[in-house]
Amino acid sequence: MNYLRQQLGSFMPVFRREIGAYYSTPMAYVFLAVFLLALGMFTWEASGFFDTGTADLTPFFVWHPWLYMIFLPALAMRLWADETSAGTDELLLSLPLGMPGLVLGKLLAAWSVAGVGLLLTFPMWITVNFLGEPDNAAIILTYFVSFLMAGSYLSIGAAVSALTRSQVTAFVISVVIAFIFTAAGWPLVLSGVKSIFGAGFADLVAQFSFLSHFEAAQRGVLEFRAVLFFLGFMALWTILNGLWASRHRLG
Amino acid sequence: MLDIQKLVKSFGTKRAVQGLSFTVEKGTVLGFLGPNGAGKSTTMRMISGVLEPDSGDALIAGKSVVSQRREAQAALGYLPEGAPLYDDMTPPEFLAFMAAARSLPKSERKPAIERAIADSRISTVCGQRIGSLSKGYRRRVGLAGAILHDPPVLLLDEPTDGLDPNQKRAVRALIARMAPTKAIVISTHTLTEVPAMCTRAIVIDRGRIVADETPEGLRQLSSDGTLEGAFTKLTDQAEAESA
């Protein structure tokens, strides 16, 4: 218990510091504005929200993985790379803070900004309720799984950010990794992975597709498997994040 | 207070610090000198728990930085090289973050922050973002962060770099005021700072101690009776020996 408190005691100060960094600079506002704009455009223009004739949010949720893939690495890229390039990692590592709390504080700060983005899509939900009688329980469930999926994308971005001092490098690498996991079930990705790593690995990668795990949730079905998948995925990348951030102590 | 035991650190094939040992007692202000690349900052990073030593240990107020890292770090105030700070925060926000990160009891945070602001003389810039401050003020905000929790051991990397003469005098006075109750290590390559601030000086070169004297004793090591002469002689000699 005491050990846990030591390890996680750093959570609150780091979380608050990161939230402050997002909202005291234009970063969070630019992210939220552009994310919502893009989501709206895709929902209305590309999916034809009003043309489907049914009162549900499928044309809205279908874009989530793709927009997360681009936008969330942008939100996460600064988490560690910025510390390294500004030299503040030295200050941070000299404080009596446990690494687990540090890693979680940073990740959850970014995740909460993404959560605010999701909450601000409430006009969509109001619109479908105004137009018809959608299954609101199913919508809440889809939102929930989408939020978990956002955390998974952010955990990739945060971990990669600990590997480099350049935010741009962190962003590009994160988007590539995020793309691989988003479209892991696609023949395009699978054949590429197969030719580099072999068929066995390609089969494994196919099991990790965000699109297929999010599919059931989009239909309003709560798949325990999908929830576990996203939580496990996040845990794995968070551990990698901790390991990669600890490498700073080796010089 | 501070006990450094055979610290060793290599980067690749380069041996940056080669078995450094020394102790600093309460009441001592130690000048930690050496040419660029001598291993000063690497040593400071190892003492502060930022870098893990390859071997050796540093005891801060009796706590090992290797096996009891957080306890050791809690007893240390550290101003890293170049005073890195969060640019998007104001000085009071930064100090509040430091107080929370150091788990100061909530009731003590406000007085500690006010005292650190007064001691480091940054009250005039409290409303500004750190990113907009001049080099001298940044350094003093970093110093305020280091002394915030009133640690028994202070490790200051170039604390007067970038300060004007008045600010330097103020920082020296602050260090002199804290000196009786703390062990203070000041890394610098500004030799004029040494007799003004330090009661003892260690010169290192290529990761090894080449002299451990009072400032006056150091001066007598040279042929011309100046610190600069002693510094040149000690570090050149080491260079000649290793060549």
Tell me the C-alpha distance between B137 and B143, whole Å. Answer: 10
Provide the b/e sequence for A45-80 (b: ≥16 CB within 10 Å): eebebeeeeeebbebbbbbbbbbbbbbbbbbbbbbb
Query: A-side interface with B, Cβ within 8 Å?
Result: 6, 9-10, 12-14, 16-17, 20-21, 24-25, 86-88, 90-91, 93-98, 248-251
Residue of B nearest to A14 (CA): B101
Compare CB distances from A96 to B73, B84, B93 and report the shortest one's residue: B73
Are the Cβ atoms of A17 and B86 closer than 8 angstroms?
Answer: yes
pLDDT in tens, chain A (251 residues): 677 777 777 899 999 999 999 998 888 999 999 999 999 888 887 777 777 777 778 888 889 999 999 999 999 999 999 999 999 999 999 999 989 999 999 999 999 999 999 999 999 899 888 888 888 888 899 999 999 999 999 999 999 999 999 999 999 999 999 998 888 777 777 788 788 888 888 777 777 888 888 887 888 777 888 899 999 999 999 999 999 999 988 87
Are the Cβ atoms of B103 and A98 closer than 8 angstroms?
Answer: no
Query: B-side interface with A, Cβ within 8 Å?
Result: 9, 11, 42, 45, 48-52, 69-71, 73-74, 76, 78, 80-82, 84-89, 93, 97-98, 100-103, 145
How many CB atoms neighbour CB A104 within 10 A? 22
Q: A204-210: which pairs have CB atoms within 8 A and are 24 or more residues apart?
A: A205/A180, A208/A181, A208/A184, A208/A233, A209/A181, A209/A182, A209/A183, A209/A184, A209/A185, A210/A65, A210/A149, A210/A152, A210/A153, A210/A181, A210/A182, A210/A184
Tell me the C-alpha distance between B152 and B183, whole Å. Answer: 6
Distance from CA of A95 to the nearest CA of B (A): 6
Q: Which CATH architecture has domain B9-75+151-243?
A: 3-Layer(aba) Sandwich (3.40)
pLDDT in tens, chain B (243 residues): 899 999 999 988 888 999 999 999 999 999 999 888 888 989 999 999 999 999 999 999 999 999 999 999 999 999 998 889 999 999 999 999 999 999 999 999 999 999 999 998 899 999 999 999 988 899 999 999 999 999 999 999 988 887 888 888 888 889 999 999 999 999 987 888 888 889 999 999 888 998 898 888 888 888 887 888 888 888 876 555 555
Domain ranges of chain B: 9-75+151-243, 84-150
With contact defined as beta carbons under 8 Å apart, do A114 and A75 qualify? Answer: yes
Distance from CA of A10 to the nearest CA of B (A): 6
3-state class of A231 per DSSP?
A: helix
Per-residue DSSP letter, A45: I
Compare CB distances from B82 to A12, A87, A248 and report the shortest one's residue: A87
Provide the b/e sequence for B146-177 (b: ≥16 CB within 10 Å): bbbbebbbbbbbbbbbbbeeebbebbbebbee
Mutation pick from B44, B88, B185 vs chain A, by most beta carbons of A within 10 Å, is: B88
% chain B with pLDDT above 70: 97
Tell me the C-alpha distance between B86 and B78, whole Å. Answer: 15
Compare CB distances from A86 to B9, B51, B84 and report the shortest one's residue: B84
Residue of B nearest to A105 (CA): B101
**What is the ipTM score, two decimals?**
0.89
DSSP H or E stretch at residue A54: none
Compare CB distances from A88 to B69, B81, B84 and report the shortest one's residue: B84
- pLDDT per position as a tens digit, B162-198: 788 888 888 888 999 999 999 999 998 788 888 888 9
With contact defined as beta carbons under 8 Å apart, do B154 and B185 qualify? Answer: yes
Task: Tell me how far CA of residue A11 lies from CA of A104, A239, A249, B164, in angstroms.
Answer: 7, 15, 20, 38
Task: Tell me how far CA of residue A5 lies from CA of A1, A11, A99, B116, in angstroms.
Answer: 6, 10, 12, 28
- The structure's pTM equals 0.89
Are the Cβ atoms of A251 and B49 closer than 8 angstroms?
Answer: no
Tokens representing B111 are: 């007085």
